[in-house]
Chain A
Amino acid sequence: MEYLDEFFNYISSVSPSKLVRVFWFFFFFEFVRFFLVDFTTVLLWKITAVFRKKRVKEGRNLFWAEKPLISIIVPGKNEGKHIFKLANSLKEQTYQNFELIVIDDGSDDETKSICNSLKKNGLIDIFLSNDVRGGKASAANLGLRYSSGKYIIHMDADCSYDRDAVENIIVPFYYNEKLGAVGGDVQVRNYRESLCASLQAIEYTDTISIGRISQSQLGIYRIISGAFGAFKKDALDSVGGWDIGPGLDGDITVKVRKMGYEIHFEPTAICQTNVPVTFKALTKQRLRWDKSLIRFRVRKHRDVFYPNESFRISNFVSFVENITYSLVLNFKWYFYLIDMVLNYTSRLVFIIPMNFILYTINNYFKFIVFSLFRERKNVKAEYFMLYMPLMALYFGYYLRLVRTYAYLQELIFRRSYEDSWNPEKSSRQAKSLKL
């Protein structure tokens, strides 16, 4: 009780300028970037939707008139049990002129026999199997090598797709011919399974979906999710398909961008995925994702910062934004922490809860405001209200710690080359060639 009194006394006594001084990290970075910028661009996107409408409609008509062959590539190891469901659900798609290519990357379970029988029954068009695992990138490349579609869609075996997802992810190519790739919206299917999954569901709807709409608007959208992405076959061929790396997602997008193509996020092309249900599994996944930022932005594709002939301002901005907000801010947060500890030692007991309150208010506000922009929700917004206060901990501490750990590991030890996500033989080669 006494504490609460003191807390409110402290909060009410600080002047606005002092407030900004003490909570500078929140006001200058988090609030500006993740709220103001996102909010403005998404709002703009909503307003301009009226003008886009005609273009989109024409694109859709053009698409249906042409009815291009689409190759759906599903690479994976030991995914047999999921493939059956996926192949069956794809029969429900509004657009049916596709070939389903499944690549088995050295499975050691019944995947091979399941897929062979699916192929016999016409549910799979091409099934190729590697006896030895080569990694997800090479599996996807094998699919690409034997595909004959004009567009390639990359899917994950354990995801499911809205009836119109295939149609919606391809249509943008028909109203913007500069596009090389389109990313679909990934939602969390198993959000009820655990607290961890629920928190991720909020993260996906808020930061990821909304963030991507805004990035796409700004022309700095950079990660096409491996679970659902569409590419012009020409674009993929010209960059030689996927390279090895800690994730398929980010790297290919950068390569396509470098070729001069534009990238688009399509919020109506919806895919549902299962996220890790334990914090342990989530940590493992995020460590892998975060390491790829260092490996791909800072190392492999550092040439986007160089003013050479392939320089493009949007690539530059995308990278700067990404590196600033992920890498620099991550470490800047520790400066903030040190700043507070050194300069406001006695006030820490108030500052930490206040920070928490600020973030939570921001999160609620953001969630409610952005709810207005979401066209299709897989969950009622109320479901998440209860979890919202935890998001401050999830974003502010959990994800930040994981990220810090990943960055340090990768910057100092280049740990991603030891990731079991790739077979050891590929990683060894990649490391020695500095890829």
Chain B
Amino acid sequence: MNTSTENIKVVDHKINYNNLVFYVIDTTNSILNIDHTMGYDALILDASDPEYARIVLKKIRSHYNPEFYLKPVFLLNFKETKDPLLNNMHDGLMTSYDQVVSMSEVAKRIFLKTTQLDNQLIPSFEGQTVKKVLNYMYTRDIRTLKPIVDLNSSIGYTYPELSINFTNTEEPQVLEILEWADREGLIWPDFYERVYLCNNCNSGALSYREVCPHCNSANSKSEDLVHHFPCAYIGPISDFQNNIDSSLNCPKCNKTLRHIGIDYDKPSVIHHCNNCDQNYQDAFIKSKCLSCEDDIDVKYLVPKTVNIYKLTRKGRSAATSGFLSSSLEVDDIFGTINMQTLRIMLHYELEKVKESPAQKTSIALVHLENIFELYNKIGKKGERKLLEELVAVVRENIKSSDVIAFESSSTLYLMLTNTTSENAEQKLMNLTALTENLIKKNFNSFKVNLLYKVKMLDANKKAEVQLQELSKDFFA
């Protein structure tokens, strides 16, 4: 291609080059509404103000839509920073607009790779997040997830490609997701470092110090104990000191101490607490959490391994051909059955419907559309608690012969026996209100988008097919 740099001009924040439109973002863009970049092929982000650049870059890369998070972003006027996000989540550095020439090649390579991606929806929060990271890594030819020291991260380390989807304080969740991806066989861990986290808030910002075992105060004075062999006197070194010179004299026999190991030694150390006046040797080591201010005995800290993760074969192909999550942890919530059992039960239900056509049975799909935003905040334990409460509410409002099955932590199926589709519709409207209320009340006024679809069982179709149709109708 024969293109000269002369026709590179910025017009109204845009550069047209080589059939690509670059959109330039600098502090004069009042935007920060990322939707404005929709449709542009690549972005040039002015990084003279790293603070600003960081905010914009994070908005782009943490977006749920591949249109944004996969968009090539080039940094202009970038100066080396300590920010792992800014350092790692761009696609190239520019010092002048002329470099658009080479950047366009980079962008095209990314586009090519983007077209190869599989767009399957993974039915879990972890799955979705990991797929997103895998997509990004694939389009950028990244093979490892490497932890980088980050003072802003609550655990002290950050995995830029993954952590960008979370806030600094949500960093412990990043570790959970990595553990999940490890269990799924998508990534392979290599030990990198161990961190200890607060057992209350999971923060790694801890201040360690020796404290008095009696009153937990760190206000103490430590002294060597000195043993004078000839007279067997033993006491803190201050017993031997004087105000005049630096010689040490035994308070019992008045002799001057001469030579350590010969006439005296220091068999141990003693601490004196200035707060409660106790003497002790077995100082406790406590760590104060700088985030929640809990004072924790070190043995109760939560140890976590920070690994370097390499993509496995499954992980490498997951971006282009998708992957099946093998373990749905929502399986064993009390009051539910798993999808396998649901299919079998539907099969028998169909037999019954065939025999007595008067009997009507409905199936319903319920989807909590934006629930991952909440899971993101409340973590794995909170998620489980929420689902358990949800099941309890649903169970109260359906018959005992009805069943609930989770397909993922955001999608569940109901089988409602002796229920026409109209009745089912009515029931689900009630349930929607109840669920929305429940979540709103328990989770800080979070407003969940609950969507559902109801279908009456057709005696002439296979159970499996009917479930697929329901899902297809819903997500189409």
How far apart are the CA atoms of A133 and B229 in the complex, in Å?
11
Known: A120-B213, A137-B232. A127 touches B267 (CB 8 A): no
B118 contacts the other chain (Cβ, under 8 Å)? no
Contacting pair B270 A241 (CB below 8 A): no
Contacting pair A244 B232 (CB below 8 A): yes
Residues of B within 8 A of A66 (CB): none
Known: A128-B270, A131-B267, A134-B267. A240 touches B231 (CB 8 A): yes
How far apart are the CA atoms of A119 and B280 in the complex, in Å?
11
Q: Which of A139-147, A199-207, A383-391 forms contacts with chain B? A: A139-147
Q: Measured between C-beta atoms, what is the minimum distance from A288 to chain B in Å?
A: 17
B281 contacts the other chain (Cβ, under 8 Å)? yes
Q: Measured between C-beta atoms, what is the minimum distance from B23 to chain A in Å?
A: 65
Q: Measured between C-beta atoms, what is the minimum distance from B334 to chain A in Å?
A: 40
Known: A241-B252, A425-B261. A130 touches B268 (CB 8 A): yes
Contacting pair A138 B233 (CB below 8 A): yes
Chain B 266-290 near chain A by CB (<8 Å), digits 1 or 0 = 0110100000000101100000000
How far apart are the CA atoms of A106 and B230 in the complex, in Å?
19
Residues of B within 8 A of A241 (CB): 232-233, 252
Which of A130, A135, A428, A435 is most buried by chain B, counting CB atoms within 10 A of its CB? A130
Contacting pair B270 A429 (CB below 8 A): no
Prevailing SS type, chain A contact patch = mixed
Contacting pair A142 B282 (CB below 8 A): no
* A99-135 interface with B by 8 A CB criterion: 106, 116, 119-120, 126-135
Chain B 207-240 near chain A by CB (<8 Å), digits 1 or 0 = 0000001000000000001010111111110010
Residues of B within 8 A of A435 (CB): 230-231
Known: A129-B268, A240-B252, A425-B265. A138 touches B227 (CB 8 A): yes
Known: A120-B213, A240-B253. A145 touches B231 (CB 8 A): no
| Contact size range, A | 20 to 34
How far apart are the CA atoms of A426 and B229 in the complex, in Å?
5
Residues of B within 8 A of A128 (CB): 268, 270, 279, 281
Residues of A within 8 A of B351 (CB): none
Contacting pair B230 A127 (CB below 8 A): no
Contacting pair A138 B268 (CB below 8 A): no
Residues of B within 8 A of A429 (CB): 229-230, 262-263
Chain B 421-463 near chain A by CB (<8 Å), digits 1 or 0 = 0000000000000000000000000000000000000000000
Residues of A within 8 A of B282 (CB): 116, 119, 127
How far apart are the CA atoms of A145 and B235 in the complex, in Å?
6
A265 contacts the other chain (Cβ, under 8 Å)? no
Known: A116-B282, A130-B225. A138 touches B234 (CB 8 A): yes
Q: Measured between C-beta atoms, what is the minimum distance from A24 to chain B in Å?
A: 44
Residues of A within 8 A of B262 (CB): 425, 429
List 20 additional A-B contacts (Cβ < 8 Å) besides A119-B282, A129-B268, A240-B253: A120-B213, A128-B281, A130-B268, A131-B267, A132-B267, A134-B232, A137-B232, A138-B232, A138-B234, A145-B234, A145-B236, A241-B232, A241-B233, A425-B229, A425-B262, A425-B265, A426-B229, A426-B230, A429-B230, A430-B229
Q: 7 closest pairs, A vs B, by CB? A: A130-B267, A240-B252, A137-B232, A429-B229, A138-B232, A142-B234, A145-B235
Binding site for A on B (CB under 8 A): 213, 225, 227, 229-236, 239, 252-253, 261-263, 265, 267-268, 270, 279, 281-282
Q: Show 25 residue pairs from A and B whose CB-CB distance is below 8 angstroms, ordered by the A residue.
A: A106-B267, A116-B282, A119-B282, A126-B279, A130-B225, A130-B234, A132-B265, A133-B267, A134-B227, A134-B265, A135-B232, A139-B234, A141-B232, A141-B234, A141-B235, A145-B239, A146-B279, A240-B231, A240-B233, A240-B253, A243-B231, A244-B229, A425-B261, A429-B229, A435-B230
